[in-house]
Chain A
Amino acid sequence: MDAERVEPTPSTAWLIGLAAWFLPGSGHLLLRKWGRAALMGGAVWVCFLVGLAMGGHLFYVNMEGATSFLQWPVVIQIPPMAADVGSGIPYIVCWLLDFGFRDDPAQAARATYEYGTTFLLIAGLLNYLTMLDAFDIAAGRKS
């Protein structure tokens, strides 16, 4: 009786997936999928930069005033942070420069603040899709 053969995932697929997350578009560039890299990576970059230009807010888990991770004000920050982290290096650079993370009332008063925040969240989520696409191509699951 033959068991169903499961092809192991090549280690390069994991590296390409990691690269695709870290630098949007780079996964497809490594796979020499130039068109996809330009379209998908470009969409993520444009989405992120437009979000920042609109004065959007980036999320991180702020433990100020909380005593544990399980408190609601902390827990509620995890999903948007997970979405923002998906952007990879742009998120990390903004975090290092402390740009877009502050709870600034003047920034929040901008008419485009909510739109910008949504663009930043969507940039991260789109990059997760881009990363999975690059991973699947590298693993030979799609062309």
Chain B
Amino acid sequence: MALFAALAAIVFGAISKETPRERWIYGVKVFAEFMVIGLVLGWLLRFIP
């Protein structure tokens, strides 16, 4: 999941925003969102039989 999030964040970060700094921030944000949402969904699904 971390690898998947990292690869998607790299591409999303590279194609968006104007400056390299904004791209870095956006890429890190996308990576964090993928990870957090993945972990939350994973825990939620654990309680669904």
> What class of interface size applies to chain B in its complex with A?
under 10
Q: Flag B18-31 by CB within 8 Å of A: 1 or 0 each.
A: 00000000000000
In the docked arrangement, what's the CA distance between A14 and B15, Å? Answer: 18
Q: Flag A3-38 by CB within 8 Å of B: 1 or 0 each.
A: 000000000000000000000000000000000100
| A50: interface (CB < 8 Å) | yes
Q: At the interface, is chain A mostly helix, strand, loop or mixed?
A: helix
User: Does B3 contact A126, Cβ atoms closer than 8 Å?
Assistant: no
Q: Which of these, A36, A122, A132, A133, contacts B7 with CB under 8 Å? A: A122
Q: Flag A86-125 by CB within 8 Å of B: 1 or 0 each.
A: 0000000000000000000000000000000011001000
Task: For the complex formed, measure the closest distance between the CB of B29 and the CB atoms of chain A, giving whole angstroms.
Answer: 17
Q: Which of these, A50, A122, A133, contacts B8 with CB under 8 Å? A: A122
Residues in chain B near residue A75, CB distance under 8 A? none
Give the A-B contact count at a CB cut-off of 8 A: 35
Task: For the complex formed, measure the closest distance between the CB of A47 and the CB atoms of chain B, giving whole angstroms.
Answer: 5
Given contacts A129-B15, A133-B15, whether A118 and B10 have CB atoms under 8 Å apart is: no
Residues in chain A near residue B15, CB distance under 8 A? 40, 129-130, 132-133
Which residues B1-18 have CB closer than 8 A to chain A? 3-4, 7-8, 10-12, 14-15
Residues in chain B near residue A44, CB distance under 8 A? 11
Residues of A within 8 A of B (CB): 36, 39-40, 42-44, 46-47, 50, 118-119, 122, 126, 129-130, 132-133
Q: Can you report 29 residue pairs joining A to B where beta carbons are below 8 Å apart?
A: A36-B14, A39-B10, A39-B11, A40-B10, A40-B11, A40-B14, A42-B10, A43-B7, A43-B8, A43-B10, A44-B11, A46-B3, A46-B7, A47-B4, A47-B7, A50-B3, A118-B4, A122-B4, A122-B8, A126-B7, A126-B11, A129-B11, A129-B12, A129-B15, A130-B11, A130-B15, A132-B15, A133-B14, A133-B15
